[in-house]
Amino acid sequence: MINKSPLFSIIVPAFDVEEQIEKCLNSVFTQIFRDFELIVIDDGSTDRTQEKILSLMNLFPGQLKLITQKNSGVSAARNKGISLASGQFILFLDGDDYLSNRHLLNLSKILPTDSFISIFNKINILQNNSVRPTRIGKKMSQSVISIDQAIEFCLDDQSFRGWPVNKVFSRDIILKHQVQFNEQIHQREDRLFCVEYFLAAKLEDPDKKILIIDQPTYYYVMRDSSQTHQVNEKTFSLLQAQALINQKTNHLSSRVDQLNRVKSINDVCYCYLYGKKLKINNQLMDQIISNLLSDFWSNLLFLTIKSGQTIRNRVRLSLLFLKIWRLEKTK
């Protein structure tokens, strides 16, 4: 008897989420659409995360794979999940988030198809006991976009961003082009992964399309203790991530170049502030300051006039940029 591969592989990296993991996995167990496999990577948890996962194993007979590894970071955990996945499409679910029971059903009504290599979806963001869906604009609901537009949306903080959790990925494209999360980068590694996936899809077939759907069935829980909100020396790896993104995408369009330039200036400013907060005084900080001060007036002109950002964002970043420049000049 030939075992049929599932339509979806759901990859869940989990690290010290004992309070959230049951809700997360139960939201998968209650899915109306059942053609999936669930791969949970316990990334060296030090609390009762693994114990909680084991207690739920009987809910997923033959569907749940639990892998334990020493703490190696979310990128390594996701890569491990990719290597074990057998589904036609890969979805990512963080261990402290959860799904509506219609999440897979909604996606299954569209997939599989030869027309789309990904789906972008709205998600619900939970913060301070309130829920708000991400904004995509009425014109973008149920829209079909090109791969280049998908990359642009990954780079735009006002759009779908580079989150992997609000996208669907073709396992074949990931494996054929060896798309992986960069395990040496600890901030913005998810955006880099999404960009590399869509560049690989473009090599496969530049005419393939991405579908945008207005069905917020993923619940993204904002926690102060998450890696995204922690400031330490690993935070500075976002500079490396953005440099790679710039290198890979700046040739695509003037809009992409514009988005990357805004993000690069923003990164240098905030890494400067992170370094001051952590009292870092090394070659990295020297490089950050050098990057900040070079072409200062050109960058300030770009931010105030040509950045394509909202007026509020232009003013905010321009004032921050000017403040840091003055601090360095008055030393």
3-state secondary structure string across 227-288 = HHHCCCHHHHHHHHHHHHHHHHHCCCCHHHHHHHHHHHHHHHHHHHHHHHHHCCCCHHHHHH
Q: pLDDT tens-digit profile of 255-280?
A: 999 999 999 988 888 888 888 888 77
Q: Domain boundary at 164, 197, 228, which? A: 228
Domain range enclosing 268: 231-329
Q: Domain boundary at 182, 202, 228, which? A: 228
Which stretch of DSSP H or E encloses residue 18? Answer: none
Per-residue confidence (pLDDT) for residue 299, from 0 to 100 = 86
- Sheet containing 8-14, strands listed edge to edge, beginning at the edge strand earlier in sequence: 64-69, 36-43, 8-14, 89-92, 169-170
- Within a domain: 63: yes
Q: Which amino acid is at 116?
A: F
pLDDT higher than 70, residue 325: yes
Per-residue confidence (pLDDT) for residue 226, from 0 to 100 = 55
* Residue bearing the bigger pLDDT, 238 or 230: 238
Identify the CATH number of the domain in which residue 153 sits: 3.90.550.10
Per-residue confidence (pLDDT) for residue 13, from 0 to 100 = 97
Q: pLDDT tens-digit profile of 307-319?
A: 888 888 888 888 9
- Within a domain: 28: yes
Taking the whole predicted model, whether its pTM rises above 0.85 is answered as: yes
Q: What's the token pair of residue 115?
A: 């027309």
Q: pLDDT tens-digit profile of 81-123?
A: 999 999 999 999 999 999 999 999 999 998 888 778 898 888 9
Are 143 and 256 part of one and the same domain? no
169 DSSP β-pair partners: 90
- Within a domain: 3: no
Per-residue confidence (pLDDT) for residue 284, from 0 to 100 = 78
Per-residue confidence (pLDDT) for residue 134, from 0 to 100 = 80
Are 195 and 242 part of one and the same domain? no
The whole-angstrom separation of Cα 239 and Cα 187 is 9
Per-residue confidence (pLDDT) for residue 1, from 0 to 100 = 40
Q: Which of 85-89, 250-254, 281-285 has the lowest mean pLDDT?
A: 281-285
- Within a domain: 187: yes
Are 138 and 200 part of one and the same domain? yes
Q: Domain boundary at 228, 262, 287, which? A: 228
